[in-house]
Amino acid sequence: MNPGKVVAIAGASSGAGRAMALLLAVRGYPVAVCARRQGPLEELVGEIRAKGGQALAVPADMGKWDEAENFVERVVREYGRIDVLVNNAGWGIRSAPFDELSLEEIRQGVDVNLYTVLYGCRAAIPHMKKQHSGHLINVSSLLGKRARSNLAVYTACKHAVEGFSRSLVNDLNAHGIKVSVLAPAAIRTEWQAKAGISLDPKTRLLEPEDLALMVQYLIETPGHFSIWNMDLVALEQSFNPF
Ligand SMILES: NC(=O)c1ccc[n+]([C@@H]2O[C@H](COP(=O)([O-])OP(=O)(O)OC[C@H]3O[C@@H](n4cnc5c(N)ncnc54)[C@H](OP(=O)(O)O)[C@@H]3O)[C@@H](O)[C@H]2O)c1
């Protein structure tokens, strides 16, 4: 059943965010998507509309406050409300010893993995408070709970996303706003190549569609309770490197 919730997905031009938008739109949810790359976003919206779904694309760098705020405002203007915000933007920057990262890479890492989440929530919460309902889904990682060498900034930011989200749960429950953390292990997306990581091609990974299914599950929980944390791991994945 589709309760008609308006779902905004930040970081949807590829990978898990793209899969979330496709699945939810096909199930009848009005979706809004953002990312920095306009071409893939427009292609996604075209695909959704061709399947009879409703979608809005807003190119935005969520690590910049004005653009994050504009994304949320556009969603509210177009759809009249924002029921779900999935903060999915994230990037490993570069797998390397911390002291070999440039100051610019460190700043970029914090912008994309932490500020995107802070700004998305900051922009959406006032609208959700007015509605007395809403759902923030912050995509973390198993590296929000564990550590992996050569990904120190990413690991630090995903730990911060978990702590931030836990704090928000306490603050927002009384306003009828749910907060969930979705924490996957490795997913088969562009993420590894972008961070310069190569995985054994024989290892079974999570698929982007697995995360999409879990987001659907999270937003369809009955109104009186919330799933605070969801950790996902493919059966053949190991915790050994952590
Ligand atoms: N793949 C994995 O193994 C893995 C494991 C655990 C957790 N995760 C997390 O899962 C989430 C989805 O990643 P993915 O695997 O699907 O990787 P992906 O295919 O690289 O997707 C990341 C998305 O975030 C967008 N993005 C990056 N920076 C952004 C910014 N500043 N503002 C707005 N959008 C931005 C990217 O689009 P643009 O480049 O067009 O902006 C892209 O659409 C991320 O948070 C990632 O950290 C991934």
Catalytic residue among 29, 79, 119, 154: 154
- If you count DSSP H runs as helices and E runs as strands, how many of each does the chain have, helices first? 8, 7
Q: Concatenate the DSSP letters of all residues of 148-179 into one string.
A: -TT-HHHHHHHHHHHHHHHHHHHHHGGGTEEE
Instruction: Please tell me the distance between residue 230's alpha carbon and the centre of ligand 1 in angstroms.
Output: 18
Instruction: Please tell me the distance between residue 125's alpha carbon and the centre of ligand 1 in angstroms.
Output: 22
Q: Which residue, 16, 12, 136, 118, is CA-closest to 63?
A: 118
| Joined tokens for residue 39 | 């071409």
Residue 83 predicted with pLDDT over 70:
yes
* CB of 62 closer than 6 angstroms to any ligand 1 atom: yes
151: which residues sit within 8 A by CB, 6+ positions away? 92, 95, 143, 195
Among the residues of 57-115, which ranges form H helices? Answer: 65-79, 103-110
pLDDT in tens, 179-200: 999 999 999 999 988 888 888 8
Residue 1 predicted with pLDDT over 80:
no
Give domain 7-232's CATH architecture: 3-Layer(aba) Sandwich (3.40)
| Domain spans, the chain | 7-232
Instruction: Please tell me the distance between residue 92's alpha carbon and the centre of ligand 1 in angstroms.
Output: 9
Q: If you take atom 46 of ligand 1, which residue's CA is the nearest one?
A: 90
| Joined tokens for residue 190 | 């562009």
Instruction: Please tell me the distance between residue 174's alpha carbon and the centre of ligand 1 in angstroms.
Output: 31
Q: Kindly list the distances between the CA atom of residue 226 and the CA atoms of 7, 89, 122, 142, in Å, as whole numbers in the listed order.
A: 17, 22, 20, 20
pLDDT in tens, 84-125: 999 999 999 999 999 999 999 999 999 999 999 999 999 999
Active site residue 119: no
Model-level pTM? 0.97
Q: If you take atom 33 of ligand 1, which residue's CA is the nearest one?
A: 35
If you average pLDDT over every residue of the chain, what do you get? 95
- How large a percentage of the chain has pLDDT more than 90? 87
Q: Which atom of ligand 1 is nearest to the CA of 12?
A: 43
* CB of 17 closer than 6 angstroms to any ligand 1 atom: yes
pLDDT of residue 60: 98
Residue 37 near residue 13, CB atoms below 8 Å: yes
